[in-house]
């Protein structure tokens, strides 16, 4: 994903690549409203607006700070190779407010992968901004129905600064989890001409986005605590058609997410598009098969959740697999995630919309699975175990770094601002308390007495086997 800024006597903008990246960035931006609908439909009717606003709030906060210091912390070394701090992040003041990115003559140009295909650096900034936004928004699904909106907004800015921007630099900006000469892979297996002999594979964000958000969601769920009635009463999606609509928007936007990460409209981008589709279709079928065997029903919510699981899994591997390999990766991801969403009942953590079951599990599988299925270096293709070892290292390094730092941030906010709304507010519905609004002006719909289960089904839930919702 990371471009190289190379000197050129008279660089000329490549209009096709620039247009491609503008469209891709716009598609990824659409994913956050799509996620808001997906998550909103998953929650109970009395909390739907709060859930939607958590995504939009993340968009506002992260969009601002990415321009100010987020890009500088992530990719501030692109222009002149300076500003890197121990391979962990770049000096936040190096390109603060995008200084030197935009000059009197407009945006600087960056050469995509050093092949004389120049796009404005501002396009790359915008593309990366949308990634930062959706990653933070994903975490909100783990703490639906019960947290203060103000605390969430502060968390969004602090977490993006302390966790997301550094990990983005480590993986994509030439840091310790990249293929750079100073990275972990190069230290273990050596480097040639400044590049690791075994390049870590994370094409579009298995570590940076999904493992990162997944483990953050788990930590946050543990620190914030369970919803009232968790495990003893059904907390089902209140609007399944909205869930399906959100999943569809996410799937559409994901093509910008994955194919756009090639940074050019070329042959690899088209392969990435195909691999993304293949894995997603297979994952949906894998999830539905598990549901049918286990519960006797293949559900709409399961179908939507399987779509998301497949998209998550193929994200890191989409540029390294064949279409058949993508089918294998996808079907396994769908099955694993369908089984994983019940773990919260077994272990007693309230991950409301299954950020852990989908993002963490499918993200880990997709990142590690690339070490098995990559056509050039995967174990199953005769490449030996080196790629698999590197994939395991970057996956668990991301998990460890994000988990520890998230715990520090979440605990600090717990004992300063506080996370939880009062029990009365949670019982009656967080929308009225936090936003002074209700999603539906129908009698009894927003009161604590309304049973959202009636909007879907009247049958009783079996918590260990019933999927409440899944994250995107």
Residue 459 has pLDDT above 70, yes or no: no
Instruction: Name the least confident of 110-119, 191-200, 259-268, 429-438.
Output: 110-119
State residue 454's pLDDT score. 36
What is the residue-averaged pLDDT of the chain? 91
Query: DSSP code of 208?
Result: I
pLDDT band at 465; cut points 50, 70, 90 = very low
Please, what's the largest Cα pairwise distance for the chain? 70
Cα separation, 123 vs 135, in Å, equals 19
Q: Reduced to 3 states, what is the DSSP secondary structure of residue 374?
A: coil
Residue 6 has pLDDT above 50, yes or no: no
Dihedral angle of Cα 197, 132, 392, 317, to the nearest 10 degrees: -70
Range list of β-strands (E), 225-314? none
Expressed in angstroms, the distance from the first to the final Cα of the chain is: 22
Evaluate whether 92 touches 69 at the Cβ level (below 8 Å): yes
Query: DSSP code of 1?
Result: -
Query: In terms of DSSP bridges, do strands 195-196 and 191-192 run parallel, antiparallel, or are they unpaired?
Result: antiparallel
Cα separation, 126 vs 67, in Å, equals 9
State residue 107's pLDDT score. 84
Question: What are the tens digits of pLDDT across the range 176-218?
Answer: 999 999 999 999 999 999 999 999 999 999 999 999 999 999 9
| DSSP per residue, 209-224 | IIIHHHHHHHHHHHHH
Question: What are the tens digits of pLDDT across the range 273-325?
Answer: 999 999 999 999 999 999 999 999 999 999 999 999 999 999 999 999 999 99
Q: Residue 426 contacts by C-beta under 8 Å, 6 or more apart in sequence?
A: 145, 146, 227, 228, 420
| pTM listed for this prediction | 0.92
Percent of all residues in the chain with a pLDDT value above 90, rounded to a whole number: 82
Query: DSSP code of 180?
Result: B
For range 406-432, the mean pLDDT:
95
Question: What are the tens digits of pLDDT across the range 430-452?
Answer: 999 999 999 998 655 444 444 44
More confident residue, 103 or 421: 421
Residue 70 has pLDDT above 50, yes or no: yes
Question: What are the tens digits of pLDDT across the range 219-244?
Answer: 999 999 999 988 888 889 999 999 99
Q: Residue 440 contacts by C-beta under 8 Å, 6 or more apart in sequence?
A: 45, 446
Cα separation, 101 vs 61, in Å, equals 21
Angle between helices 386-414 and 165-172 (to 10 degrees): 170
State residue 448's pLDDT score. 46
Evaluate whether 26 touches 460 at the Cβ level (below 8 Å): no
Q: Which of 6, 48, 11 is nearest to 434 (CA)?
A: 48
Question: What are the tens digits of pLDDT across the range 355-413?
Answer: 999 999 999 999 999 999 999 999 999 999 999 999 999 999 999 999 999 999 999 99
Instruction: Name the least confident of 59-63, 112-116, 401-405.
Output: 112-116
Token look-up 């390109």 returns 95
């Amino acid at each position: 994903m990371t471009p190289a800024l190379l000197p050129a006597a008279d660089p000329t903008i490549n209009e096709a690549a620039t247009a491609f990246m503008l469209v891709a960035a716009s598609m990824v931006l659409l994913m956050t409203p799509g996620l808001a609908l997906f998550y909103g439909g998953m929650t109970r009717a009395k909390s739907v607006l709060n859930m939607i606003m958590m995504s939009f709030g993340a968009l506002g906060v992260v969009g601002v700070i990415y321009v100010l210091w987020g890009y500088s912390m992530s990719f501030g070394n692109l222009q002149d190779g300076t500003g890197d701090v121990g391979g962990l992040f770049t000096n936040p003041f190096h390109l603060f407010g995008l200084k030197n990115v935009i000059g009197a003559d407009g945006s600087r140009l960056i050469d995509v992968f050093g092949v004389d295909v120049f796009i404005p650096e501002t396009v790359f900034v915008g593309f990366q901004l949308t990634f930062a936004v959706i990653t933070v928004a994903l975490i909100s699904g783990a703490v639906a129905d019960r947290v203060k909106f103000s605390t969430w907004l502060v968390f969004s800015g602090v977490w993006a600064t302390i966790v997301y921007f550094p990990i983005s630099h480590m993986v994509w900006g030439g840091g310790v989890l990249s293929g750079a000469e100073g990275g972990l892979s190069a230290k273990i297996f050596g480097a040639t001409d400044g590049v690791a002999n075994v390049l870590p594979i994370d094409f579009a964000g298995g570590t940076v986005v999904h493992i990162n958000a997944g483990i953050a969601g788990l930590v946050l769920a543990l620190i914030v605590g369970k919803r009232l009635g968790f495990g003893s009463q059904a907390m089902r999606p209140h609007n399944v058609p909205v869930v399906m609509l959100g999943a569809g928007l996410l799937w559409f936007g994901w093509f910008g997410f994955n194919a756009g990460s090639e940074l050019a409209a070329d042959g690899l981008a088209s392969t990435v598009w195909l691999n993304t589709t293949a894995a997603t279709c297979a994952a949906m079928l894998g999830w539905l098969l598990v549901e049918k065997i286990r519960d006797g029903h293949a559900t709409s919510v399961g179908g939507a959740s399987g779509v998301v699981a497949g998209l998550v899994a193929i994200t890191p591997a989409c540029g390294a697999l064949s279409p058949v390999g993508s089918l294998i990766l996808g079907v396994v991801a769908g099955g694993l995630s369908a089984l994983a969403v019940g773990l919260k009942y077994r272990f007693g953590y309230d991950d409301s919309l299954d950020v852990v079951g989908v993002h963490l599990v499918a993200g880990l599988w997709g990142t590690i699975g690339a070490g098995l299925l990559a056509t050039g270096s995967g174990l199953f293709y005769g490449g030996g175990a080196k790629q698999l070892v590197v994939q395991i290292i970057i996956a668990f390094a991301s998990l460890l770094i994000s988990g520890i730092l998230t715990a520090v941030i979440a605990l600090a906010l717990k004992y300063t601002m506080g996370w939880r709304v009062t029990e009365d507010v949670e019982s009656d519905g967080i929308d009225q308390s936090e936003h002074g609004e209700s999603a539906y002006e129908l009698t009894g719909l927003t009161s604590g007495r309304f049973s959202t289960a009636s909007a879907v089904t009247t049958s009783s839930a079996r918590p260990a086997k019933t999927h409440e919702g899944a994250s995107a």
